Structure 1
Amino acid sequence: MTLDWCPGIREVCAHWHNAPMLHQTFEALERALEQDNDACIDCAKAMVEVVCRIVVESFHTVQAPLKPTQETPSLSDWLSAAIRALKLGDVRDDKFKKLVSSHHKLADALNDLRNKGGPTSHGKDPYLERLAVHHRRTAVLAADAIVAFLHKAYLDAMLDPVSSREPWERFEVANSLIDAHVGLSVEIEEEGAPTLKFLLPGGDELPLKIEVSRLLYLLDRAAYVEALNAARGAPALVTEQEKEQGEE
């Protein structure tokens, strides 16, 4: 077995490239697949749970909580929370509801298979026979189907830019609107940080006071380093207070 069995999982890992636990689980799955190890069943179940957690975290707020309330949430609990977060249960089409229900059944079956045959589950007889290859393949394919289903729904969802961890490119339509209708000017004060003024349609202004160093650090680390090196070679600035003291 190879990673060709789980294209959906590979796509998810490429998308959320900054999620350490997701990639750690993926690496464990990869090793188990290469070794034809039954541990791939545990990894497959864990991969589904991690993806559910990412989806839930993306939409969870204090005002609209989505995280499972159980002390030890099951895979089914996390999947239900992810489906609520993506509002997949709100679709009225009966056939789509059956599709959502089928993914719940897949998750339950995967969880049962993991509890019965996964070697890292607790309380197992050390002399249990290894599972057949079709058991491992079925577990991985089931996990991949659930992960791909959630990921595609996630990509189609409208995310809140205030709390989203998605990159700027994810909001292409919103970005185009802002770029077309909002201008930018800079107000430099004698002392203190400069103020960026975003010129809104209708004549209003949205001021944002920010240090140059902070702006460079947030937007372009290479430019930050270049500016730092240039600043190190510049002559020291003399403040107004130092000038007055010198004149005295």
Structure 2
Amino acid sequence: MTMDWCPGIREACAHWQNATMLQHTFDALQMALESDSDASIDAVKGLVECICRVIIDQLDDPTSPLKPKDEASITEWVSAAIRVLGRGDVRDRKFADLIKHHNGLAESLRVLRNDAGPFSHGKDGFIQALTIYHRRAAILAADALVTFLYKAYLDSQLDPISSREPWERFAEGNALIDAHVGLVVDDDDSTTLRFILPSGDELPINIEVSRLLYQLDREAYVEALNAARGAQKPAQVREQGEH
């Protein structure tokens, strides 16, 4: 078995590279697939839960949270993720049936994992050695769930204030800002950037040069640091000479 079995999982995990637990679980799945291990069932179950947690953390409304308790079942996590994505609100009957079947896949994966996944429960399941077909069924079911959730997430509207997504995720808004908002820097105040709005009003942002460079370009930060260190030495020499 290889990661070619689960392209949706692979794509979603590549998107959320900073989600630590998700990446650990993804690594566990890769090792299980490479060794044809039954632990792949535990890994894909964990991946589904991790994806749901990431989506819910990004989109959940803090004033009316839908996040389940940590001990909730995988079905509850999938159901909550679908709700925060707004996919459960669609009235089309056929699409509602699709949601129902996805929840059924989640429940089947949970049952199969509990009965046959000895790694997370410390006991032998009633299936001592799962065939490759059982493992494939579990992996394909998980990949179908993850793909559905991930693609729905990409279509969702994110709040740029609370989102942990990278700047590139807001391409449409970025293009609007770049086309209509100007930028000037005061000659006598290097820590203030002034953004010129379409109305002509100014939006001043105070930020240290070091912080701006550190957040935007680490290589430029290091280059500026080295240049600043070089400029500091003559001043120190003059100051010492005055004493």
Q: Say yes or no: TM over 0.5.
A: yes
Partner of 2:41: 41
Partner of 2:106: 107
For 1:97, what is the secondary structure of its paired residue? Answer: helix
State how far apart, in whole Å, the 2-side matches of 1:71 and 1:222 are.
Answer: 40
Q: Kindly state the Cα deviation for residue 72 of structure 1 after the two structures are TM-superposed.
A: 1.6
Partner of 1:55: 55
Structure 2 letter corresponding to 1:16: W
Total equivalences in the alignment: 237
| Contact kept in structure 1, 2:115 and 2:125, CA below 8 Å | no
State how far apart, in whole Å, the 2-side matches of 1:175 and 1:126 are.
Answer: 52
State how far apart, in whole Å, the 2-side matches of 1:138 and 1:51 are.
Answer: 19
Partner of 1:83: 82
1:93-242 aligned within 5 A: 93-122=92-121, 124-125=123-124, 129-189=128-188, 194-235=191-232
State how far apart, in whole Å, the 2-side matches of 1:172 and 1:207 are.
Answer: 23
Seen in structure 2, the aligned counterparts of structure 1 residues 102 and 124 have a Cα distance that, compared at 3 Å, is same
| Contact kept in structure 1, 2:116 and 2:124, CA below 8 Å | no
| Contact kept in structure 2, 1:188 and 1:195, CA below 8 Å | no
| Contact kept in structure 2, 1:188 and 1:194, CA below 8 Å | no
State how far apart, in whole Å, the 1-side matches of 2:26 and 2:130 are.
Answer: 21
| Segment of structure 1 superposing worse, 204-213 or 193-202 | 193-202
| Contact kept in structure 2, 1:3 and 1:30, CA below 8 Å | yes
Structure 2 length-normalised TM: 0.91
Seen in structure 2, the aligned counterparts of structure 1 residues 126 and 104 have a Cα distance that, compared at 3 Å, is closer
Q: Kindly state the Cα deviation for residue 101 of structure 1 after the two structures are TM-superposed.
A: 1.0
Q: Kindly state the Cα deviation for residue 75 of structure 1 after the two structures are TM-superposed.
A: 0.7
Q: Unaligned stretches of 5+ in structure 1?
A: none
Q: Kindly state the Cα deviation for residue 76 of structure 1 after the two structures are TM-superposed.
A: 1.1
Structure 1 length-normalised TM: 0.89
Deviations 1:23-71 (A, max 9, x none): 1111111111121111111111001000000100111242242311x36
Q: Kindly state the Cα deviation for residue 236 of structure 1 after the two structures are TM-superposed.
A: 6.0
State how far apart, in whole Å, the 2-side matches of 1:83 and 1:126 are.
Answer: 31
State how far apart, in whole Å, the 2-side matches of 1:236 and 1:134 are.
Answer: 69
Seen in structure 2, the aligned counterparts of structure 1 residues 225 and 8 have a Cα distance that, compared at 3 Å, is same
Q: Kindly state the Cα deviation for residue 188 of structure 1 after the two structures are TM-superposed.
A: 4.0
State how far apart, in whole Å, the 1-side matches of 2:104 and 2:232 are.
Answer: 69
State how far apart, in whole Å, the 2-side matches of 1:18 and 1:146 are.
Answer: 21
| Contact kept in structure 2, 1:8 and 1:145, CA below 8 Å | yes
- Using the aligned pairs only, state the percent identity: 60
Q: Kindly state the Cα deviation for residue 237 of structure 1 after the two structures are TM-superposed.
A: 8.9
For 1:32, what is the secondary structure of its paired residue? Answer: helix
State how far apart, in whole Å, the 1-side matches of 2:99 and 2:79 are.
Answer: 10
Structure 1 letter corresponding to 2:199: G
Structure 2 letter corresponding to 1:215: L
| Contact kept in structure 2, 1:86 and 1:154, CA below 8 Å | yes
For 1:179, what is the secondary structure of its paired residue? Answer: helix
Q: Unaligned stretches of 5+ in structure 2?
A: none
- Larger helix percent: 2
State how far apart, in whole Å, the 2-side matches of 1:14 and 1:180 are.
Answer: 30
